[in-house]
């Protein structure tokens, strides 16, 4: 198993996961803290017929169909996937797969968490079946990944594997973005509406954000929105706002050019005294103490 815990530059990561070239339907991923990425398996599976019944896995599985056609049953619905499609099997959700004719599947099993163990694929939902825009390119990348993954003596295996998996994820997300652009006039499903909420919060942290505003973004009743949001992300909408405000503040404190007063206003804390109280309650130190600790860490020593 490969496990990577790392820190990504937000602007570079945002550009990397840009799904479409402009427009209101652009899906942008913005990550401002450490990520935890675990790759469990990279493999290829050939079969004459294939049947999986109500299987649930603790990780995400992305299965590219290089040959064949399958029927998927999950979420109380039936989906169909053909050559050039990717099946998305979500963690801890039972699914069935039926293939009556020979085929070949190429799959990766992984976990991907951001923002203190928030599931990335809960923030940015992918459909059960993704029709790839460039299936040949995806296939070439997968074959290279498989070759790297099996070369256990390569000292750069982990780094290479991570970058190639991210390339596959990019291909999938880009394909979803292109398809969404073509279907721009259609009403989004309820889970897709939630996917717009986090980017909205991040973009408007300095403003006063209310539950009613967020519910309006999702086009949902505020009470139902709160219930659905907590079920999806494990915290209330306003707790998510506070969490993202504090994470933005932590980032800004690493820049000595920003005053505490400026950071407080930019992150939506109204004034410096209020920001100081909330920060100290959360991190058991003042913003100034945190800044000194970060400066000492960068210089290679601690106070």
130-182 confidence digits (pLDDT tens): 999 889 999 999 999 999 999 988 889 889 999 999 999 999 998 888 777 66
Query: Cα(262)–Cα(236) distance, rounded to whole angstroms?
Result: 27
Annotated domain spans of the chain = 2-182, 190-298
Residues found in the chain = 303
State the average pLDDT over residues 91-114.
92
* Per-residue model confidence (pLDDT) at position 1: 63
CB-based contacts of 110: which residues, under 8 Å, 6+ apart?
A: 37, 38, 39, 40, 59, 60, 62, 165
Name the residue among 11, 1, 30 with its Cα closest to residue 197: 30
* Per-residue model confidence (pLDDT) at position 19: 40
Q: What percent of the chain has pLDDT over 90?
A: 46
Strand 77-82 relative to strand 69-74, pairing: antiparallel
What tokens does 104 get? Answer: 């070949």
Tell me: pLDDT of 21 over 50: no
Q: What is the pLDDT of residues 215-272, one digit of tens each?
A: 998 888 899 899 888 888 888 999 999 989 998 999 899 888 999 999 999 999 888 9
CATH number of 2-182: 2.60.120.280
Burial category of 64 from C-beta neighbours within 10 Å (exposed 0-12, middle 13-18, buried 19 and up): buried
Enter the pTM of the model.
0.57
Question: Which of the residue ranges 15-19, 36-40, 139-143 would you say has the lowest mean pLDDT?
Answer: 15-19
* Per-residue model confidence (pLDDT) at position 7: 43
Q: What percent of the chain has pLDDT over 70?
A: 81
The class (CATH top level) of 190-298 is: mainly alpha
* Per-residue model confidence (pLDDT) at position 3: 57
Q: What is the pLDDT of residues 48-79, one digit of tens each?
A: 999 999 888 889 999 999 999 999 999 889 99
Name the residue among 199, 236, 193, 262 with its Cα closest to residue 32: 199
Task: Judge whether 102 and 47 are in contact, CB under 8 Å.
Answer: yes
Name the residue among 121, 133, 129, 240 with its Cα closest to residue 192: 121
What tokens does 41 get? Answer: 């398996």
Query: Cα(244)–Cα(238) distance, rounded to whole angstroms?
Result: 10
* Per-residue model confidence (pLDDT) at position 13: 42
């Amino acid at each position: 198993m490969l496990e990577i815990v790392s820190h990504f530059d937000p602007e570079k990561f945002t550009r990397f996961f840009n799904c479409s070239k402009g427009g209101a339907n652009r899906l942008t991923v913005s990550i401002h803290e450490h990520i935890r990425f675990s790759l469990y398996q990279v493999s290829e599976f050939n079969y004459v017929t294939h049947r999986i019944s109500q299987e649930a896995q603790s990780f995400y599985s992305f299965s590219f169909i290089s040959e064949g056609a399958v029927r998927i049953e999950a979420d109380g619905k039936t989906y169909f996937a053909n050559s050039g499609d990717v099946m998305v099997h979500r963690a801890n959700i039972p699914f069935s797969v039926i293939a009556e004719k020979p085929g070949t599947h190429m799959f990766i099993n992984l976990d991907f968490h951001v923002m203190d163990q928030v599931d990335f694929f809960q923030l940015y939902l992918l459909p059960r079946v993704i029709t790839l825009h460039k299936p040949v390119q995806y296939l070439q990348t997968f074959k290279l990944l498989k070759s790297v993954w099996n070369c256990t003596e390569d000292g750069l295996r982990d780094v290479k594997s991570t970058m190639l998996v991210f390339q596959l994820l990019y291909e999938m997300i880009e394909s979803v973005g292109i398809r969404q652009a073509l279907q721009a006039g259609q009403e989004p499903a309820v889970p897709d509406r939630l996917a717009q909420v986090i980017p909205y919060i991040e973009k408007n942290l300095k403003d006063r954000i209310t539950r009613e505003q967020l519910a309006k973004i999702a086009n949902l009743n505020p009470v139902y929105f709160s219930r659905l949001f907590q079920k999806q992300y494990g915290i209330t909408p306003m707790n998510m706002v506070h969490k993202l405000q504090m994470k933005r503040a932590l980032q800004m404190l690493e820049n000595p050019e920003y005053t505490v007063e400026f950071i407080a206003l930019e992150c939506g804390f109204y004034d410096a005294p209020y920001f100081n109280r909330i920060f100290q309650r959360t991190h058991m130190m003042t913003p100034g103490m945190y800044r000194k600790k970060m400066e000492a860490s960068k210089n290679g020593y601690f106070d």
